[in-house]
Amino acid sequence: MPLGQNAERGATTMDEEWSSLSSMVRLPKTAEVVAGRIRKRIIRGELSDGDFLPPENQLMASFAVSRPTLREALRILESENFISVMRGSRSGARIHRPPVENAARYAGFLLQIEGTTVADVYEARLAIEPYVVGKLARLQPEGATQLLRMEVERLRKMVHDGRYLEFMVAIADFHRLLVEVSGLNTLLLLTRILQETVARYQVKFFEIHEMSDELQQRRAFSGLRSFDKVISLIDAGKAVEAEAHWHLHLVNANLYWVPTSLKAKVVDVLD
């Protein structure tokens, strides 16, 4: 085969490879680039929650883009809850830092789509909270046990007042606070996702499985005693004992909330 034909075939092969590669890699649209730059400034705190973005004309000049491109970028940010556009107003787009609840709710949807069982969700808490309790006992963060005791007293008042449904929902706050005072933000996000799902399930469970006031009160005070004990163990720096106690507490709670008849029940986060 002549040399020229080899070179031509090599060039054709190279063109095909580049064509195949370019079809796999999608270059971002200009609107996505603009949205990315604004999003980055919001996340970094350069743009504060509640502030307004500059007027359209100023933004168009800053990014050197057309009005349609800018408006597409703002629509992207609005769909992600980073801004809310005040249509028909001269105020423009108000900046928001998306609340964790949005992520938790969306994660709940994904859990349901994947067919995740309630038992699976409750099991996940066993991988997080006992570890956190042990870490709290070892590190003794300043003010941690004081905050936990205040939360227990808030819960105890609900029980004394006979507000049992409110108490069952508010238990999630104690579990969240346990992780929050540890300063472990990644585990806190995971906990809030789990608790969002757990709280919804427990309300439905509570409404279906009727109990007498006496039984509800007895179960509530039993839970509160367990809370008091784990706080005391944390305060005393007894990490191994605190971790073991909280593991047992969660195992027993799981047996109550997810009896054998409900172990195969799929998470339901829809109203």
Q: What is the CATH number of the domain that holds 34?
A: 1.10.10.10
pLDDT of residue 80: 85
Q: Are residues 94 and 51 in contact, defined by beta-carbon separation less than 8 angstroms?
A: yes
Residues 6+ apart with CB under 8 A from 5: none
Is the same domain home to 87 and 176? no
Overall average pLDDT of the 55-70 stretch? 92
Q: What is the mean pLDDT of residues 232-259?
A: 94
Domain membership flag for residue 6: no
d(CA 179, CA 195): 12
In the three-class reduction of DSSP (H, G, I as helix; E, B as strand; rest coil), residue 217 is classed as helix
Residues 6 or more apart whose Cβ sits within 8 Å of residue 3 = none
Residue 160, domain extent: 101-262
Residue 73 domain flag: yes
Is there a single domain that holds both residue 90 and residue 33?
yes
The first and second tokens of residue 137, run together, are 């006992």
pLDDT value of position 197: 80
For residues 89 and 112, membership in a common domain is answered with: no
Residues 155-214: tens digit of each pLDDT: 999 999 999 888 888 888 999 999 999 999 999 988 988 887 887 787 778 777 777 888
Residue 2: is its pLDDT beyond 80?
no
- Measured distance CA(235)–CA(140) in Å, rounded: 7
| Assigned domain for 32 exists | yes
Q: What does the pLDDT read at residue 27?
A: 63
Greater model confidence, 271 or 63: 63
Determine the distance from the C-alpha atom of residue 206 to the mean position of all C-alpha atoms in its chain, rounded to a whole number: 24
Give the model's confidence band at 127: pLDDT under 50 very low, under 70 low, under 90 confident, else very high.
very high
Answer yes or no: do 63 and 161 share one domain: no
User: Of the candidates 95, 119, 154, which is a domain's last residue?
Assistant: 95
The answer to whether residue 267 sits within a structural domain is: no
Question: Do 243 and 156 fall into the same domain?
Answer: yes
What total number of domains does the chain contain?
2
User: pLDDT by residue (tens digit) across 63-73?
Assistant: 999 999 999 99
Do 63 and 194 belong together in one domain?
A: no
Please report the pLDDT score of residue 14 as a whole number.
58
The SS3 call for residue 92 is strand
pLDDT the model gives residue 168: 82
Strand partners, 86: 92
Q: Are residues 180 and 130 located together in one domain of the fold?
A: yes
Indicate the pTM of the whole model.
Answer: 0.71
CATH of the domain at 124: 1.20.120.530
Indicate if 136 and 208 belong to the same structural domain: yes
Q: What is the average per-residue pLDDT within 64-85?
A: 90
Digit-coded pLDDT (tens) for 3-15 = 455 545 555 565 6
